[in-house]
Amino acid sequence: MNGTVVVLLGPPGSGKGTQAQRLVEVLGTPHVSSGDLFRHHLSEDTDLGQLAKSYMEKGELVPDDVTVKMVMERISRPDCEEGVILDGFPRTLTQAEALKGALSGRGQEVTVVPLIRVGDEEVVRRLTARRVCKECGAVYNLAFNPPEEEGECDVCGGDLYQREDDNPETVQHRLYTYYKETSPLIGYYFAQDRLVEVDGEQPVEQVSEELLEAIHEAKRAS
Ligand code: ADP
Ligand code: ADP
Ligand code: ZN
């Protein structure tokens, strides 16, 4: 098998984006976030952005066909040949099957699926205090990981903003969507012997360490 394909699974706010950005530094493979791709389309006001907007505002999933098409186009680029860290995709069984098909077409498979476990109350606490850099996408938290200067990114000095869907009502609905549509993937990847559970309520560094351990272990076994 060539390439390491990591699928980060977990509820909204479990730290997928935070951890993916850290894993990039160590693994050297790109971080592909379906949420970031959609937000890019939104900011560019493309047809796909206009389609995705109403779903994202409500905290519902964008339909599988357009989501799969968008992510497949991204991971078929040369920089993903040696592997990829997927964050927020797949989110349905249909998406998981599409990913499997696309990878097998190029002699790859999903290497490991860390499930980052975080309780519902912690999710709400984290997401309502989340701030994101407009320029580079760095993720902050007003309570746990505030920027040095208020409203300003430590990395690039860009402005920080709050995502429109990080309000308490939409967060509740995103959690509901996660349990209904995404949690079946836990059984799906468990049955394929790819699932590794990680306690996501530990400090960021500790979670990273356990993720790296799980990834290295899975690479050895593959
Ligand atoms: P979070 O990181 O907080 O879980 P994301 O940035 O991953 O949120 O996703 C934001 C929104 O983008 C989702 O609520 C959904 O509307 C849409 N979205 C992202 N990824 C997918 C996907 N794989 N399938 C369908 N919709 C998605
Ligand atoms: P996701 O991509 O799964 O939605 P994020 O990585 O955006 O999650 O993290 C959600 C929020 O929680 C952010 O404000 C982030 O700074 C914060 N966060 C991430 N990991 C931890 C952690 N281990 N402990 C406390 N806060 C965290
Ligand atoms: Zn920045």
10-residue block means of pLDDT along the chain (222 residues)?
88 98 95 97 97 97 98 96 96 98 95 98 98 94 96 97 96 98 98 98 98 96 86
Its sign, for the CA torsion 91, 95, 97, 99, is negative
| Pairwise CA distance, residues 206 & 197, whole Å | 14
First to last CA, the chain: 7
Ligand 3 (single-atom ion) residues, CB below 5 Å = 133, 135-136, 138, 153, 155-156, 158
User: Active site includes 91?
Assistant: yes
Backbone φ and ψ of 155, nearest 5°: -80, -50
C-alpha neighbours within 13 Å on the C-beta side of residue 156: 11
What's the token pair of residue 66?
């357009």
Is the minimum distance from the CB of 13 to ligand 2 under 6 angstroms?
yes
Q: Which atom of ligand 1 is nearest to the CA of 35?
A: 6
Give distance in angstroms: CA of 156 to centre of ligand 1: 25
Is the overall model pTM greater than 0.85, yes or no? Answer: yes
Give distance in angstroms: CA of 13 to centre of ligand 2: 5
Is the minimum distance from the CB of 21 to ligand 2 under 6 angstroms?
no
| Pairwise CA distance, residues 68 & 89, whole Å | 9
User: Active site includes 163?
Assistant: yes
Calculate the alpha carbon distances from 147 to 124, 152, 153, 157, 167 in Å. 20, 7, 6, 10, 20
Q: Which atom of ligand 2 is nearest to the CA of 35?
A: 2
How does strand 4-8 pair with strand 83-87?
Answer: parallel
Q: Report the number of secondary-structure helices (H) and strands (E) in the chain.
A: 9, 8
Residues with CB under 6 Å of ligand 1 are 12-13, 16-17, 34-35, 38, 55-56, 59-62, 67, 88-89, 91, 95, 165, 174
Is the minimum distance from the CB of 16 to ligand 2 under 6 angstroms?
yes
Calculate the alpha carbon distances from 191 to 8, 32, 98, 176, 197 in Å. 17, 25, 17, 24, 14
Alpha helices, DSSP H, located in the chain: 16-27, 34-44, 47-58, 64-75, 93-104, 120-128, 168-177, 184-191, 204-221
Give distance in angstroms: CA of 44 to centre of ligand 1: 17
User: Active site includes 220?
Assistant: no
Q: Which listed residue (22, 126, 131, 174) is catalytic? A: 174
Q: What is the structure's pLDDT at 1? A: 45
Contact between 189 and 110 under an 8 Å Cβ cutoff? The reply is yes
Q: What is the structure's pLDDT at 214? A: 97
